[in-house]
Amino acid sequence: MPELIPQPRYARFLPDAGTCELTDPLLQAGAGTEDTARWLRRELGAATGWELPAPVPGETYGQRPVIRLALRPEIARGTGAESYELHVAPGLVLLEGADGAGLFYAAQTLRQLLGPGAHRRAPLPGAVWRLPVGDLLDGPRFGWRGLMLDVARHFLPKDGVLRYIDLLAAHKLNVLHLHLTDDQGWRVEIKRYPKLTEVGAWRARSRWGHRASPLWNDTPHGGFYTQDDIREIVAYAAERHVRVVPEIDVPGHSQAAIAAYPELGNTDVVDTAALRVWDDWGINENVLAPTEAVLRFYEGVFEELLELFPAEVSPFVHVGGDECPKAQWKASAVARERIRELGVDGEDGLQSWFIRHFDGWLAERGRRLIGWDEILEGGLAPGAAVSSWRGYAGGIAAAEAGHDVVMCPEQQVYLDHRQAGGEDEPMPIGYVRTLEDVYRFEPVPPKLSEEAAAHVLGAQANAWTEVMENQSRVDYQVFPRLAAFAEVVWSRLPEPADRDYGDFEARMAQHYRRLDALGVDYRPPGGPLPRQRRPGVLGRPIEGAPPNV
């Protein structure tokens, strides 16, 4: 079996069957395969030096090998959407996809089979490109295979986002959840509200380490994506069969917006005009006021957002809905009057009112609302979906109630949590979650009924960036664990205790070389390199095994 990650559903490569040597091959692209052909010419062409010309009818090409692309929808009957077959014979490589995504994943598998050098941007001297002869049939377990990138706490420039889209695609992941707004920054241009980025995208300083740390980085921090940047990101993702889920947080995690437009806050209990973009981490008390004016403001935000994220690429819109303290609403006469007018059940009812309003508003425009599992509190609109982060419980409750669920429990797949217990781990946060721990994550809890389990759309890993100050730090926390996560959500693995981690670890030896070729600053198996450490910077490690809740 070739050292592929994620592990394919079926593969047969016989050592005695010979090899297919690809020397200056032709690329024959069938109808509807143009996008994958373009990707192969660009990516494999750069790594190998191949031009990959199309065969011209009537011309002879001697013994030149051929890579042939085709769509064959009937493949889906056995393995579902996004599935593919790959066949290698002497002189011929055949990639067949049930759909465009499946064909693209066949191309990603081809690149892995060619070796780590196929992931580089220029050919290495003396490279020989040779494939084992055999057959492969593959398709994903889940339709939602995602990564959440928090670009609000620490901004990741546009090129870094595009790079992560390529890394997701290389691991057959298909959802990028962008956390675009929070107390510490607003990262997307909204033309009708220019202060959201003129003011809200910048903070004067950042705490260095966990919120208990006495250290500060006094360099102003910020940045945002222009609307053209977002259009580029979305188009780039779509070409690689990655859906982008934008997140605009309401009604909590909103101090950056309130700093830009003080009238959005609870002005009868707080001097909101004195607020600035928050420079600390944690849960912030400054939340949106429960008024019609605030709803109209955010409707304006979402109107522009929907234009940037077309429904075919972004059917879901994330509204956050988590960690919304109620102290200001309890103290606010405006909020108390609002509770009376609406007839809702106290402050929790106000939060539900916020979420229900935008669920209906988005549904009228052909989108689906998704939010963190706190949106279950006070009742949830029928079409809304849930990101279950506080463990499995919220996802179980939502699925049993008939709501679609994305499993992303903090204790299992929060990649900001530390990877080992050693003192060299940089700014250690949370529980120890090793590569093996992530490999044994199971998105569907055994206690779910069969009917409820069908509501589990899939899973995503989350990378919160309070203590990830740049791309290298994000790489360190995300990789190699994202490779294990990718196999969990793509491959049909045994129950967690029965999974062959030794086999996965052996295949990772080759995958580390691919990550090296891609320039990923991952955590080495033996622990952090000296430059990856952050001595003396306080984290928040939690000892013991995480609760299975």
Is 183 a known active-site residue? Answer: no
321-to-254, 288, 372, 376, 498 alpha-carbon distances in Å: 11, 11, 6, 9, 37
Residue 36 CB coordination number (10 Å): 26
Q: Based on DSSP, count helices (H) and strands (E) in the chain, helices before strands.
A: 18, 24
Between CA 96 and CA 93 the distance in angstroms is 10
Is 253 a known active-site residue? Answer: yes
Residues 6+ positions from 372 with CB-CB distance below 8 Å: 320, 321, 322, 386, 387, 389
Cβ neighbourhood burial of 29 (10 Å; 0-12, 13-18, 19+): buried
Of 3, 135, 304, 323, which residue is the catalytic one?
323
Q: To which residue do tokens 């494939």 refer? A: 131
Between CA 518 and CA 524 the distance in angstroms is 15
Parallel, antiparallel, or unpaired: how do β-strands 134-138 and 84-89 relate? Answer: antiparallel
Residue 77 CB coordination number (10 Å): 9
Between CA 467 and CA 474 the distance in angstroms is 9
Of 253, 417, 455, 511, which residue is the catalytic one?
253
Is 323 a known active-site residue? Answer: yes
Residues 6+ positions from 343 with CB-CB distance below 8 Å: none
**216-234: b (≥16 Cβ within 10 Å) or e:** eeeeebbebbeeebbeebb
Q: What is the DSSP letter of 124?
A: P
Q: 3-class SS at 339?
A: helix
Residue 332 CB coordination number (10 Å): 20
DSSP-derived secondary structure for 34-101: HHHHHHHHHHHHHHH----PPPPTT---TT--EEEEEE-GGGHHHH-TT-EEEEEETTEEEEEESSHH
Parallel, antiparallel, or unpaired: how do β-strands 19-21 and 130-132 relate? Answer: antiparallel
Q: 3-class SS at 176?
A: strand
Between CA 357 and CA 384 the distance in angstroms is 11
Q: 3-class SS at 437?
A: helix
DSSP-derived secondary structure for 469-502: -SHHHHHHHHTTHHHHHHHHHHS----GGG--HH
**99-120: b (≥16 Cβ within 10 Å) or e:** bbbbbbbbbbbbbbbbbbbbbb
Of 82, 138, 150, 182, which residue is the catalytic one?
182
Q: 3-class SS at 228?
A: helix
Whether residue 220 has a cis bond before it, omega within 30° of 0? no
Catalytic machinery residues: 182, 253, 323
